[in-house]
Amino acid sequence: MISEKIILGIDPGTAIMGFGIISVKKGKMEMISIHELILKKYPNHETKLKYIFDKTLALIDEYHPDEVALEAPFYGKNVQSMLKLGRAQGVAMAASLYRNIPITEYSPKKIKMAITGNGNASKEQVAGMLQNLLKLKEFPTKYLDASDGLAVAVCHHFNSGTIADTKSYSGWDSFLKQNPDRLK
């Protein structure tokens, strides 16, 4: 039996990307770290993607997570925004798979439901519940994207061992087998 599990949660974004890392020991959660990447300052999308990849690898190499959980892109009206968000998610996934760390995707509603019990909860409500769940005196970041990354990690812990509306990949072969339409 594993005595400790470390989970890296990622909220992909192209303006701000949130990361949260938790440790689970004997079923008890503890926040290890919370980060956000401020990507607005980078001149183009390609530079942002490289930075996302590099930072995700750096977090993996520093904290050695056993699993990575990502928020799946939601369907919006702006196709260009969807495309950019999907690329950001793909780069974070690629970094995780490059280090052979299994990944799981969760829908935004699933994450909110796991944390607050309400799939339509606001970012502020999610952050407040995380503060309570993790027994934090104050929330360590002003960016709600970072708290969303933490929420993904906590959601993954709550859903560990359950079959849900998630997708899990243990490596490139697994990813390609479950997504044959992405192979060109």
Q: What are phi and psi of 126, to 5 degrees?
A: -60, -50
Is residue 54 annotated as part of the catalytic site, yes or no?
A: no
Q: At a CB cut-off of 8 Å and minimum separation 6, what does 37 contact?
A: 13, 16, 17, 19, 51, 52, 55
Catalytic residue among 11, 67, 105, 148, which?
11
**Nearest alpha carbon to residue 50 among 86, 22, 87:** 87
Catalytic residue among 36, 71, 105, 148, which?
71
Is residue 145 annotated as part of the catalytic site, yes or no?
A: yes
CA 14 to chain centre: 14
**Nearest alpha carbon to residue 139 among 150, 149, 127, 148:** 127
Catalytic residue among 36, 67, 145, 148, which?
145
Is residue 165 annotated as part of the catalytic site, yes or no?
A: no
Q: Is 145 annotated as a binding residue?
A: yes
Query: Which bin fits 64, alpha (ψ -120 to 50), beta or left (φ > 0)?
Result: left
**One-letter amino acid of 97:** L
Residues in the annotated binding site for Mg(2+)? 11, 71, 145
Tell me the catalytic residues. 11, 71, 145
Residues in the annotated binding site? 11, 71, 145
